[in-house]
Homo-oligomer: A and B are copies of this chain.
Amino acid sequence: MNATRQPIEYADASAEVRSVYDDIMATRNTDWVNNYWKVLAHHPPSLRRMWENAKQVMAPGALDPLTKELIYIAVSVTNGCGYCIASHAAGARNKGMSPDQYSELVAIIGLANETNRHAVALDLQIDAAFR
């Protein structure tokens, strides 16, 4: 596991891996690939599978791309994943997130985590109007 955790650079990658890297860069309109994909590349089926998932789920749809990134960050903060916060905060900034928007996002994440625990501690029953 130790050795396999080194990121696989494009120059060292198999044709199968390179084809995914190429699609990542083309889809994102960038000339580099971040460590998530370069470490996942040790297992090409996982690399390809996860990229297909990310491409489908994060594409513009009924929700716009910035909103999707904010949701991603909310999950990542709640799970305490530093890498994920860093990568998706960068993605959100690229899509126009302002410092005030980030501050409000953090405030909501915090408040929701607080009230989630209150609801559990107080064994709240769901109001009829919410069903």
User: What is A's interface to B at a CB cutoff of 8 Å?
Assistant: 1-2, 4-5, 32, 34-36, 39-40, 42-43, 45-46, 49-50, 52-54, 56-58, 61-63, 67-68, 70-90, 93, 97-127, 129-131
Q: Separation in Å of the A50 CB from the closest CB of chain B?
A: 7
Instruction: Kindly name the residue among A40, A100, A105, A110 whose own CB sees the greatest number of chain B CB atoms within 10 A.
Output: A110
Contact A116 B43 (CB under 8 A): no
Number of copies: 6
Interface of A is mostly: helix
Nearest CB on B from A69, distance (A): 9
Instruction: Point out the residues of chain B lying under 8 angstroms from A88, CB to CB.
Output: 112
Contacts A57-B108, A62-B100 given; indicate if A126 touches B83 (C-beta within 8 A). yes
